[in-house]
Structure formats: C-alpha cells, structure tokens
C-alpha cells in the first residue's frame, strides 16, 4: 500500500506569515494527491487536490504542486490568517487502495 | 443539501455495552468508510464498503462490526470486545471505491466509554 510522511507539528505562526507543510509519499502506480483540513471538533474537508505530475492544486490561497520526481506534495500559503488554524492532512490515493492519511499537522496562527 | 450526517455528535456509554454510531449520506455514493481518530495518530480505517450489501475489514476492525443494507446508510457498532473504544469516529463516502476518489466526511461522533 501507500505511505505518507508529513511534517510534524504543531506549527505556530504569526498572522500574515508564510506557511509550508511538507508532505512526501511512497505509492505504487500514479496516485492522486489530496490535502484535507480539519477545524476543531469537525470532520475533514477537502482543501485541494492534484491528479498528475506538475499539476498545482489551489483553494482559499493554499497551493500544492504534484512533484513526481521528489514524490512530494508540499502545502503552501503566502499569508496565513487566524482562521487557518486547523489540522492539515496529506493523503495519496491510488486506484485499488483507499486513501492513506498522514498523521496530520496542527497549525496555530496567532494575531 | 447533499452531505453526510453522523449522529449523535457526543455519545457516552458504560464499559461492557455495545453502541451503534449512525452514518447517513444522500450523495448517491457507492463507497463508504469508517475511521477512528486518536490524538497524534491521524486516521485509521476500521471498515469500508465498496457497494451495498458488501463490506471489508480495514486496518483496525477488531471489536467493531458494520452493516450495509441500504446504499445511504453504514452504521458502525462498537462492541464490548473493543479494548479502547473512547475516540473520535468519522464516517466518509466516495462516489466509487478507490484512492483516486475524493472522500466526503461527516462531522464525526465523539464516543466516551467509562
């Protein structure tokens, strides 16, 4: 099956700082790649996705690029807000397998 | 609005009792999933169902049981055999089985067993 390694948290940033959360994966075949976000006390929501090499997923100011050569899908945002405080999960998924979720990275943004 | 509902949001039980968590979706999805979330451990797959009347064990199925008699419903029973049942339980669905497909999540049920 697939596996994923995410940057360990927690990550604490000041408002308007630049965010990077690293994610690398191992997978058989050619997986799709997802970032999910979980706000306190809630379920997960899809944040963005990419389905082939060099694709860039983007949503709400967040971006991640599918890097096949480095098997990475790092999440970035240029200027974080307090409302971005949440737990972020990276998840590769290939055809015959369910999604494999990373352990999650908790982000706290302080005013 | 289409989505996944889980009820209740909070559930309290005494040790030794079985408890059933509800999961309903109106997205017309074939596949459904149950995950367990513990602090610092991410999500672990308990059971999944690729299609109605079929389900398979995930990574941590011991002490749990499921049924899939209707396409829109996938209840999870936490039995007294589950050694550490206190956790946050998440139900999800996807249009089809397979990792290429986005999963949609419910709001979760927090189970506390004392």
Q: pLDDT of B4-29, one tens digit each?
A: 999 999 999 999 999 999 999 999 99
A89 has pLDDT over 70: yes
Span B39-58, average pLDDT: 92
**Do A93 and B98 count as a contact with CB atoms less than 8 A apart?**
yes
**Do B105 and A43 count as a contact with CB atoms less than 8 A apart?**
yes
Confidence class of residue A27 from pLDDT cuts 50, 70 and 90?
confident
Cα distances from A110 to residues A8, A11, A18, A75, B11, in angstroms, run 19, 11, 13, 19, 32
d(CA B88, CA B84): 12
Neighbouring C-beta atoms of residue B80, cutoff 10 Å: 15
Average per-residue pLDDT for chain A: 93
- pLDDT, position A9: 86
**Do B105 and A44 count as a contact with CB atoms less than 8 A apart?**
yes
Tell me which residue in B6, B42, B45 faces A98 most closely, judged by beta carbons. Answer: B45
d(CA A64, CA A33): 9
* CB contact at 8 A, A106 and A10: yes
CA torsion, ordered B55, B79, B86, B42, to nearest 10 deg: -20
Residues 47-86 of B with CB under 8 A from A: 48, 58
- pLDDT, position A14: 98
d(CA B45, CA B48): 8
Phi, psi of A82 (to 5 degrees): -55, -35
Please check whether residue B106 touches A, CB under 8 A: yes
- pLDDT, position B113: 94
Q: Which chain B residues are closer than 8 Å to A98 by Cβ?
A: 33, 45, 48, 58, 97-99
- pLDDT, position A98: 77
CA torsion, ordered B41, A37, B93, B59, to nearest 10 deg: -10
- pLDDT, position A29: 77
- pLDDT, position A1: 63
- pLDDT, position B40: 74
Confidence class of residue A96 from pLDDT cuts 50, 70 and 90?
low
Span A43-72, average pLDDT: 95
Confidence class of residue B100 from pLDDT cuts 50, 70 and 90?
confident
d(CA A78, CA B56): 42
- pLDDT, position A20: 97
Please name the residues in contact with B22: beta carbons below 8 A apart, sequence gap of 6 or more: B5, B6, B7, B8, B73, B75, B109
Please check whether residue B8 touches A, CB under 8 A: no
- pLDDT, position A74: 98
CA dihedral sign of residues B6, B46, B44, A59: negative
């Amino acid at each position: 099956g697939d596996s994923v390694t995410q940057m360990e948290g927690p990550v604490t940033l000041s408002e308007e700082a630049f965010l990077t959360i690293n994610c690398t994966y191992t997978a058989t075949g050619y997986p799709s790649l997802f970032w999910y976000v979980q706000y306190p006390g809630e379920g997960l929501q899809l944040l963005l996705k990419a389905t082939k090499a060099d694709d860039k997923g983007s949503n709400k100011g967040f971006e991640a690029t599918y890097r096949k050569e480095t098997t990475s899908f790092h999440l970035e945002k240029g200027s974080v807000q307090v409302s971005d405080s949440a737990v972020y999960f990276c998840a590769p998924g290939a055809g015959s397998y369910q999604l494999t979720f990373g352990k999650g990275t908790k982000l706290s943004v302080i005013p | 609005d289409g989505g996944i509902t889980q009820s209740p949001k909070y559930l309290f039980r005494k040790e030794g009792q079985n408890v059933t968590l509800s999961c309903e979706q109106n997205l017309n999805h074939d596949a459904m999933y149950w995950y367990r979330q513990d602090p610092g451990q991410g999500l672990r797959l308990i059971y999944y169902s690729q299609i109605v009347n079929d389900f398979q064990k995930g990574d941590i199925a011991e002490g749990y049981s499921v049924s899939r008699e209707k396409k829109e419903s996938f209840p999870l029973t936490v039995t007294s055999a589950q050694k550490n049942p206190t956790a946050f339980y998440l139900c999800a669905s996807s249009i089809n089985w397979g990792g290429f497909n986005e999963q949609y999540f419910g709001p979760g049920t927090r189970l506390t067993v004392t």
